[in-house]
């Protein structure tokens, strides 16, 4: 909200500069978002001068040579070169004398301009820091005495602070509130104009102006007061009031409207002024709107109301959306003579609900929403009445209406100064605590000596309902004592060594470290993706289950079930910008459906792109399925999952955007994890506009599945006796998986090896298909290593076992030994 320094000065001696005030407001806890200075800054050596003569500059068409009288105190008449068109003889203008410093650190010196001596500068308004109007010299009143300081000739000027009031401090949404805070900071006293009206009507009762007030919804309007004034004269408000309203950005309208606004900005209590003759039946009803009821508010918009909204109505129709905005029908105008002033307290929740529902905010709603002090409602009405009587005349007539409770305010907080010190963690004397609190009108009402020291009770003023507990006073003391005075300290605390970093953190770290070490570039993409993308790449059901209720934009409406989509987007962006990008990786949360519920999972994924357009002078082999397979094995391994023991299933169809025949999956989210990898669907990648082939892998795991603590591996002894190696090639159906054959070899070998030795390892080393083999068959060559832990094997025993293995392996006819 905007706070004018001149306005504040009505309540408070302010000797502080604008900068000091800004600092004070800041450290009181209100952020200063802007400072606007109006009027002249303090200017030394800028005085009023009269132009005595004007001649053309001999060497420049657009310049004039003026003689200017600045008064005997400043050396009398001097010559000044001027470029303005209005430097005519007889004009009185501001003259900056040599040595003056104008805004923008513009230093005035004696100088020669195109060969002519110039003894200062004649000034335009902008050069003095006044306005952007640079049309010519600032012409002063011809009666302004020559030689006077420009600050004397043009007094005034103001500083307006735009400050953010935190939601706990509705009391500071007015000048008096901010003045109270500044008074506490500056240790000054508040002087508030005496309020003369004390609620006594001076004329005879006039029920014909306002005859009745009834409140039908007291829960939303606990207090409603109304006063009638007859015989007011509508006209402009006093100049000082207009000045202040304009300073804080309000347009003056007329004395009645302006006073309503003025008192709200002064005391924080919104008021409403009705033209009494426009109140049908001379009766005010505070009621809930009827569903479908309509009211055209002052901003010209028709508002459809409902039965949760509170209105101020007359006999016939709603006149005002209570506490928010009036309708056009009962407003004061130039013909108004009798008025009704409303000062009320509305329940904040009710105002907030209605304002939000209607999408309608106003200065009044803003204050009621945050909470107005219900114990100063009447004071505000009285202040407004004083001002009306002063500037619009009229007589207050009865009956005055006051409907509802005005329970006396009573709140005290009991605490010890020791408690304040203990929470702050540094020493601050009892006296400093006491004076900080007293500066905020938190006077100590009682003092008891207890065994653990003194105990104080402070009385909380009614406008500070945010203060309720001793901890709230810690903040108050520190605010006034000064947060900048918290003494520095060494960062220390008792060691807390229980527990380690979260398993999620450790997993992400390990995976990222690994992939970055493998020359991947880590990227970060948004979590939210579009419906269309999920329906295309994942599934229709994912697109339904992962939807937000209230997305902000269409393309960010769903949680991501995979990181691959974001990675593809990053790849595409780089390609489209001509930036070669081959290896990208990301870790982050993904959301997967399991048995009808969505699970938040830990995810890791990467892409490898081979773009033929990325040319190098020396070709490297393209990545392939097996390059990504190794990467996912390692990533899954970081999560404690050994893919070697898992069944790898080829992907069918365009499942999650993978390419059939070129990709595989292992694990199910039902087991708590899944991995999918291989080539991304070529057609889909192409339709995205991504060039080249893209391989990738993704891994997802439930956070609970990540091992909480790592155990140390146990050392396994190994033998120094040599292995005996044999090779075998087996011919099988082309569709048969190598792993199946390998496992068959291992299984058959078990039991036929001789005493004390075993087939230690079987590794595929060649896969062949084509010439020399029947159609539909392939040959898989394996190297077998036999070993005994305690001796060197003899050829004979190995040969015997190997021969039997070759016989037995072919026995079911599904494979034959290639010879």
Q: Does 763 bind other proteins (CB under 8 A)?
A: no
Q: Does 150 bind other proteins (CB under 8 A)?
A: no
Site for other proteins in 649-678 (CB under 8 A): none
- The distance of closest approach from Cβ of residue 269 to other proteins in the complex, given in angstroms and rounded to an integer, is 22
Beta carbon nearer to other proteins, 615 or 714: 615
**257 to each of 193, 244, 311, 333, 387, how far by Cα in Å?**
20, 14, 20, 9, 12
Please choose, out of 449-457, 497-505, 774-782, 805-813, the segment that lies near other proteins by the rule CB under 8 A: 497-505
- Tokens coding 328: 């056009």
Site for other proteins in 168-227 (CB under 8 A): 168-169
Q: End-to-end CA distance of the chain: give it in Å, rounded.
A: 93
CA distance 758 to 9: 98
Token pair 């653990």 is found at 452
CA distance 554 to 400: 56
Q: Does 504 bind other proteins (CB under 8 A)?
A: yes
Q: Does 621 bind other proteins (CB under 8 A)?
A: no
- The distance of closest approach from Cβ of residue 814 to other proteins in the complex, given in angstroms and rounded to an integer, is 42
**592 to each of 641, 644, 658, how far by Cα in Å?**
19, 24, 17
- Tokens coding 522: 């880590």
Q: How many residues bind other proteins (CB under 8 A)?
A: 101
Among 452, 616, 711, 716, binds other proteins (CB under 8 A): 616
Count of CA atoms in the C-beta half-sphere (13 A) of 590: 28
- The distance of closest approach from Cβ of residue 743 to other proteins in the complex, given in angstroms and rounded to an integer, is 35
For the chain, the 3-state helix, strand and coil shares in percent, each to the nearest 5, are 30, 30, 40
Nearest Cα to 318, choosing from 330, 308, 336, 333? 330
Q: Does 699 bind other proteins (CB under 8 A)?
A: no
481 φ, ψ (degrees, to nearest 5): -65, -35
Cβ atoms of 45 and 55 within 8 Å: the answer is: no
Beta carbon nearer to other proteins, 38 or 508: 508
DSSP string, 677-708: EEEEPHHHHHHHT--SEEEEEEEEE-GGGS-S
Among 13, 17, 19, 31, binds other proteins (CB under 8 A): 31
Beta carbon nearer to other proteins, 79 or 570: 570
Q: Does 495 bind other proteins (CB under 8 A)?
A: yes
Among 5, 7, 14, 29, binds other proteins (CB under 8 A): 29
Q: Does 589 bind other proteins (CB under 8 A)?
A: yes
Nearest Cα to 342, choosing from 422, 404, 297, 294? 404
Nearest Cα to 343, choosing from 288, 382, 314? 382
Question: How many other C-beta atoms lie within 10 A of the C-beta of residue 390?
Answer: 12
Q: Which burial class, exposed, middle or buried, applies to 327 when counting CB atoms under 10 A from its CB (0-12, 13-18, 19+)?
A: buried
CA distance 359 to 304: 11
Among 172, 234, 565, 582, binds other proteins (CB under 8 A): 582
Nearest Cα to 645, choosing from 606, 607, 671? 671
Site for other proteins in 87-146 (CB under 8 A): none
Among 516, 683, 803, 817, binds other proteins (CB under 8 A): 516
Q: Does 577 bind other proteins (CB under 8 A)?
A: yes
Q: What's the DSSP call for residue 368?
A: H
Site for other proteins in 347-386 (CB under 8 A): 349, 352-353, 356
Quick check: helix, strand or coil at residue 145?
Answer: coil
Among 44, 133, 600, 668, binds other proteins (CB under 8 A): 600
Cβ atoms of 567 and 603 within 8 Å: the answer is: no
Among 138, 286, 584, 636, binds other proteins (CB under 8 A): 584
Among 110, 111, 166, 769, binds other proteins (CB under 8 A): 166
Among 530, 570, 671, 785, binds other proteins (CB under 8 A): 570
Q: Does 709 bind other proteins (CB under 8 A)?
A: no
Beta carbon nearer to other proteins, 140 or 590: 590
Sequence-ordered strand ranges (E) for 188-253: 212-215, 223-230
Among 132, 239, 334, 619, binds other proteins (CB under 8 A): 619
Among 55, 502, 727, 733, binds other proteins (CB under 8 A): 502
DSSP string, 406-419: -PPP--EEEE-HHH
- The distance of closest approach from Cβ of residue 662 to other proteins in the complex, given in angstroms and rounded to an integer, is 23
CA distance 744 to 737: 11
Beta carbon nearer to other proteins, 135 or 486: 486
Q: Does 33 bind other proteins (CB under 8 A)?
A: no
Q: Could you give the angle at the alpha carbon of 39 between the alpha carbons of 35 and 40, nearest 5°?
A: 105
Beta carbon nearer to other proteins, 440 or 798: 440
- The distance of closest approach from Cβ of residue 566 to other proteins in the complex, given in angstroms and rounded to an integer, is 9
Site for other proteins in 51-80 (CB under 8 A): none
Beta carbon nearer to other proteins, 54 or 589: 589
Q: Does 497 bind other proteins (CB under 8 A)?
A: yes
As beta bridge partners, residue 296 has 302
Please choose, out of 39-47, 433-441, 578-586, 737-745, the segment that lies near other proteins by the rule CB under 8 A: 578-586
- The distance of closest approach from Cβ of residue 603 to other proteins in the complex, given in angstroms and rounded to an integer, is 12
Beta carbon nearer to other proteins, 451 or 550: 550
- The distance of closest approach from Cβ of residue 215 to other proteins in the complex, given in angstroms and rounded to an integer, is 23
Among 34, 142, 408, 499, binds other proteins (CB under 8 A): 499
Region for residue 656 given its phi and psi (left: phi exceeds 0; alpha: psi -120 to 50; beta: otherwise): left
Among 155, 300, 408, 493, binds other proteins (CB under 8 A): 493
DSSP string, 524-585: ---SEE-HHHHHHHT-HHHHHHTB-SS-SSTTS-EE-S-SHHHHHHHHHHHHHTT----EEE
Please choose, out of 47-55, 90-98, 643-651, 696-704, the segment that lies near other proteins by the rule CB under 8 A: 696-704
Q: Does 720 bind other proteins (CB under 8 A)?
A: no
CA distance 302 to 359: 12
**654 to each of 14, 674, 682, 725, how far by Cα in Å?**
75, 17, 10, 43
Site for other proteins in 463-492 (CB under 8 A): 469, 471-472, 474-475, 478-479, 483-484, 486-492
Among 617, 626, 715, 718, binds other proteins (CB under 8 A): 617
Please choose, out of 49-57, 135-143, 335-343, 573-581, the segment that lies near other proteins by the rule CB under 8 A: 573-581
CA distance 91 to 136: 12
Please choose, out of 139-147, 393-401, 504-512, 711-719, the segment that lies near other proteins by the rule CB under 8 A: 504-512
- The distance of closest approach from Cβ of residue 568 to other proteins in the complex, given in angstroms and rounded to an integer, is 11
- The distance of closest approach from Cβ of residue 666 to other proteins in the complex, given in angstroms and rounded to an integer, is 21
- The distance of closest approach from Cβ of residue 673 to other proteins in the complex, given in angstroms and rounded to an integer, is 13
Residues 6+ apart with CB under 8 A from 195: 379, 382, 383, 386
Site for other proteins in 404-433 (CB under 8 A): 422-426
- The distance of closest approach from Cβ of residue 534 to other proteins in the complex, given in angstroms and rounded to an integer, is 15
CA distance 465 to 121: 57
Among 129, 136, 551, 692, binds other proteins (CB under 8 A): 551
Beta carbon nearer to other proteins, 395 or 512: 512
- The distance of closest approach from Cβ of residue 380 to other proteins in the complex, given in angstroms and rounded to an integer, is 25
CA distance 51 to 267: 49
Q: Does 527 bind other proteins (CB under 8 A)?
A: yes
CA distance 97 to 67: 13
Among 148, 149, 317, 518, binds other proteins (CB under 8 A): 518
């Amino acid at each position: 909200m905007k706070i004018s320094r001149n306005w504040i000065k009505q309540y408070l001696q302010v000797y502080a500069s604008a900068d000091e005030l800004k600092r004070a407001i800041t450290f009181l806890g209100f952020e200063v978002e802007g400072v606007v200075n109006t009027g002249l800054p303090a200017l030394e050596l800028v005085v009023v001068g009269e132009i005595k003569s004007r001649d053309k500059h001999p060497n420049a068409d657009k310049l004039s040579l003026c003689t200017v009288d600045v008064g005997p105190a400043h050396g009398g008449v001097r010559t000044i070169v001027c470029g303005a068109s209005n430097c005519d003889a007889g004009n009185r203008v501001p003259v900056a004398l040599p040595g003056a410093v104008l805004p923008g650190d513009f230093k005035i010196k004696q100088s020669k301009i195109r060969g002519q001596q110039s003894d200062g500068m004649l000034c335009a308004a902008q050069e003095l820091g006044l306005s952007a109007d640079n049309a010519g010299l600032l012409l002063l009143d011809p009666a302004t005495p020559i030689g006077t300081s420009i600050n004397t000739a043009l007094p005034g000027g103001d500083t307006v602070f735009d400050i953010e009031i935190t939601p706990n401090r509705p009391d500071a949404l007015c000048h008096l509130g901010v003045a109270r805070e500044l008074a506490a900071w500056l240790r000054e006293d508040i002087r508030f104009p005496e309020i003369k009206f004390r609620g006594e009507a001076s004329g005879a009762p006039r029920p014909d102006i306002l005859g009745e007030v009834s409140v039908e919804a007291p829960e939303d309007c606990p207090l409603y007061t109304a006063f009638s004034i007859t015989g007011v004269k509508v006209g402009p408000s006093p100049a000082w009031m207009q000045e202040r309203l304009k300073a804080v950005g309000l347009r003056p309208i007329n004395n009645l409207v302006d006073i309503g606004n003025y008192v709200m900005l002064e005391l924080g209590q919104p008021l409403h002024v009705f033209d009494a003759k426009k109140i049908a039946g001379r009766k005010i009803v505070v009621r809930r709107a009827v569903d479908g009821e309509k009211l055209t508010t002052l901003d010209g918009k028709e508002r459809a109301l409902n039965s949760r909204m509170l209105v101020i109505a007359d006999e016939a129709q709603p006149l005002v959306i209570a506490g928010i905005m009036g309708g056009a029908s009962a407003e004061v105008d130039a013909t108004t003579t009798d008025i009704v002033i409303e000062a009320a307290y509305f329940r904040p929740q009710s105002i907030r609900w209605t304002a939000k529902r209607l999408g309608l905010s106003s200065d009044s709603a803003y204050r009621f929403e945050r909470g107005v002090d219900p114990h100063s409602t009447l004071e505000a009405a009285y202040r407004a009445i004083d001002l009306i009587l002063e500037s619009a005349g009229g007589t207050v007539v009865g009956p005055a209406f006051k409907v509802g409770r005005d329970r006396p305010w009573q709140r005290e907080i009991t605490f010890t100064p020791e408690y304040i010190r203990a929470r702050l963690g540094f020493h601050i004397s009892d006296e400093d605590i006491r004076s900080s609190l007293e500066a905020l009108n938190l006077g100590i009402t009682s003092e008891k000596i207890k065994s653990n020291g003194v105990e104080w009770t402070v009385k909380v003023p009614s406008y500070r309902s945010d203060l309720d507990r001793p901890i709230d006073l810690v903040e108050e003391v520190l605010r006034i004592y000064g947060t900048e005075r918290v003494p520095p300290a060494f960062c220390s605390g008792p060691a807390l060594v229980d527990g380690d970093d979260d398993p999620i953190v450790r997993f992400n770290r390990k995976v990222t470290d690994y992939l970055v070490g493998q020359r991947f570039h880590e990227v970060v993409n948004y979590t939210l993706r579009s419906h269309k993308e999920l329906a295309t790449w994942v599934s229709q059901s994912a697109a339904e289950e992962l939807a937000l209720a209230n997305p902000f934009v269409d393309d960010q409406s769903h949680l991501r079930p995979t990181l691959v989509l974001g990675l593809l987007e990053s790849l595409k962006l780089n390609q489209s910008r001509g930036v070669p990008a081959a290896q990208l990786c990301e870790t982050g949360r993904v959301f997967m459906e399991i048995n009808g519920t969505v699970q938040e999972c830990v995810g890791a994924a990467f892409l490898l792109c081979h773009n033929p357009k990325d040319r190098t002078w020396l070709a490297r082999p393209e990545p392939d399925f097996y390059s990504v397979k190794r990467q996912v094995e390692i990533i899954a391994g970081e999560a404690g999952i050994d893919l070697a023991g898992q069944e790898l299933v080829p992907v069918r169809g365009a499942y999650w955007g993978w390419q059939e025949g070129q990709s595989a999956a292992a694990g199910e989210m039902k087991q708590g994890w899944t991995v999918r990898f291989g080539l991304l669907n070529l057609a889909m990648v192409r339709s995205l506009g991504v060039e080249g082939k893209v391989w990738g892998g993704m891994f997802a795991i439930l956070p609970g599945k990540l091992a909480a603590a790592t155990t140390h591996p146990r050392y396994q002894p190994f033998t120094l006796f040599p292995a005996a190696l044999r090779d075998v090639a087996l011919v099988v159906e082309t569709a048969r998986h190598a792993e199946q054959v390998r496992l068959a070899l291992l299984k058959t070998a078990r039991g036929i090896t001789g005493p004390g030795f075993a087939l230690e390892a079987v590794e595929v080393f060649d896969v062949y298909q084509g010439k020399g083999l029947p159609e539909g068959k392939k040959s898989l060559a394996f190297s077998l290593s036999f070993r005994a832990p305690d001796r060197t094997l003899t050829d004979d025993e190995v040969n015997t076992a190997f021969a039997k293995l070759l016989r037995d392996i072919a026995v079911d006819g599904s494979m034959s030994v290639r010879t």
